[in-house]
Amino acid sequence: MTEGRIPTELWVKAHLRRLTVQGMPAVVARRGDRHGGMVLLKVNRLDLGCRVLAQTRDLDGVLCWLPALNGELVPEAQADEYITRQTARDPDLWVIEVETRDGDHGFEGAEL
């Protein structure tokens, strides 16, 4: 864990609580390392499909999201297959699933 950053588990819990208050369904689909695991967001747009975003930081250390799967909406099964491959490579990853019709996932950070 880098000095000055809160543990991933606390960061995830805070965001999930905020989303719950806003009435946005979100769940932890997979728990990663409590202190320093990165986060994958599965943004489920229901009938439209899913997007997967990988948490990253820019050169200044600012949180941002890197779209996976070419940033496209894909069937949920395809998104799940991608997530399974990534978590097999990095067991510290957290996976958060957010259901939203408009694509707003509610997590801080710009998309690259």
- CATH code for the domain in which residue 63 is found: 3.40.1530.20
User: For residue 66, what pLDDT is reported?
Assistant: 97
Query: Is the predicted pLDDT of residue 3 greater than 70, yes or no?
Result: no
Mean pLDDT score across all residues of the chain: 94
User: How many residues are recorded in the chain?
Assistant: 112
Q: Is 71 a member of any domain? A: yes
User: For residue 2, what pLDDT is reported?
Assistant: 47
Instruction: Print the domain residue range for 33.
Output: 27-101
pLDDT band at 112 (very low <50, low <70, confident <90, very high): confident
CB-based contacts of 71, cutoff 8 Å, min separation 6: 51, 111
Q: Is 106 a member of any domain? A: no
Neighbours of 14 (CB within 10 A): 11
User: For residue 1, what pLDDT is reported?
Assistant: 42
What is the strand order of the sheet 50-57 is part of?
A: 26-30, 94-99, 39-44, 50-57, 63-67, 110-111
How many domains does the chain fold into? 1
Averaged pLDDT, 71-86 = 98
